[in-house]
Amino acid sequence: MERPTFEAMLAAATGVERDGDQYTVADGYILAVYIGEPGQAMEVSEVTGLRLDAVFCEATSREHNSVYYVEYSSLHGLCVRPPTGAGGRRAGFN
């Protein structure tokens, strides 16, 4: 993926706030970034912030207190989950 594509995805993502080249995830939201090739992507979960450099993305994750440095060509996608309890009633066990 190219940087403009990734920026467009982040702009469309609910719960992601931009400040220049820095992106933060709003309280309660859970962001995951997928890196690798289609069908062989690795999930970087619990991302709290992203910084977009000219040639790579820096992803900070709560999981294992890790920082990942990823070339844009290795980015495959992202997933944003809204805060729990944000939806209506759901079928299932209480």
Interval 47-90: pLDDT, tens = 999 999 999 999 999 988 899 999 999 999 999 999 987 555 55
Domains held by the chain: number = 1
Q: Is residue 85 part of a domain?
A: no
Q: Is residue 60 part of a domain?
A: yes
Residues spanned by the domain of 20 = 3-77
Q: Is residue 11 part of a domain?
A: yes
Taking the C-alpha atoms of residue 77 and residue 25, their distance in angstroms, rounded to an integer, is 16
Q: What is the pLDDT of residue 79?
A: 94
Q: What is the pLDDT of residue 92?
A: 53
Q: Is residue 91 part of a domain?
A: no
pTM: 0.82
Q: Is residue 93 part of a domain?
A: no
Q: Is residue 53 part of a domain?
A: yes
Cβ neighbours of 6 (radius 10 Å): 20
Find the mean pLDDT for residues 2-8.
95
Taking the C-alpha atoms of residue 53 and residue 70, their distance in angstroms, rounded to an integer, is 10
Q: Is residue 12 part of a domain?
A: yes
Q: Is residue 92 part of a domain?
A: no
Q: Show Cβ contacts of residue 16 under 8 Å, excluding neighbours closer than 6 positions.
A: 10, 23, 24, 25, 26, 29, 31, 80
